[in-house]
Amino acid sequence: MTRFFLLALAACCVLLAQEKNALVSEAKFPWTVVRDNLLKMAEKMPAEDYSFKPTPEIESFGQRVAHIAGANLYICRGVMGQPAAPRPRPVATSKPDLIALLKQASAACDAAFDSLSDAAAMEKISSRLGGPFPPEPTRTKLATLNNVVRHANEVYGYMCVYLRLKGIVPPSSAPE
């Protein structure tokens, strides 16, 4: 009996020592890395190069910043249950306006991660966040936020080329 009691007590201690919302905390770490890299990248690119396009067919650096800021803002607000109206492309074009938009989107995504318990992270939401299709919940909130991280990291990778072509070392290659 004493042996069973000691095992039960040890199990309780282990459970109490575990981090609260460990699943969400673990998922937030890669978000903080890409969030910081995107912001540092936006700050490193000179204002006069925000209109730079490596080739005429693709978006400018500023358009890429607007794209990722707009997408992150839309999705992270949607995860928190805020209205997810059709998302127009942000109209900001200047470096200060785009950095402000990127900071706003980053704050929304930080808030989305911080608003979730591990149990709430498993709640299903529409993969379109209220769009016309599919209307039924199709993915968890955590999977949706993981997709934000994946997309943001993908866009960051594309944008590294823009910096390299301008002779600027991307933040992840030149940590401070």
User: Are 167 and 173 within 8 A, CB to CB?
Assistant: no
Q: How confident is the model at residue 139 (pLDDT cuts 50, 70, 90)?
A: confident
pLDDT of residue 125: 87
Domains of the chain: 23-173 (1.20.120.450)
Based on C-alpha coordinates, what's the Rg of the chain? 20
Mean local confidence (pLDDT), 102-115: 96
Q: Is the pLDDT of residue 172 over 80?
A: yes
Cα→Cα distances 55→45, 60, 61, 116, 162, Å:
17, 9, 11, 41, 10
What sign does the CA torsion over 168, 153, 24, 70 have?
A: positive
Q: What is the reported pLDDT for 136?
A: 63
User: 């805020």: which residue's tokens?
Assistant: 82
In this prediction, residue 7 has a pLDDT band, given cuts at 50, 70 and 90, of very low
Q: What is the mean pLDDT of residues 161-165?
A: 97
Measured at the alpha carbon of residue 100, what is the angle toward residues 72 and 153, in degrees to the nearest 5? 35
Answer whether residue 25 shows pLDDT above 50.
yes
pLDDT (average), residues 67-90: 82
Record the tokens describing residue 20, joined without a space: 């609260």
Question: pTM to 2 decimals?
Answer: 0.82
Report the mean per-residue pLDDT for the chain: 85
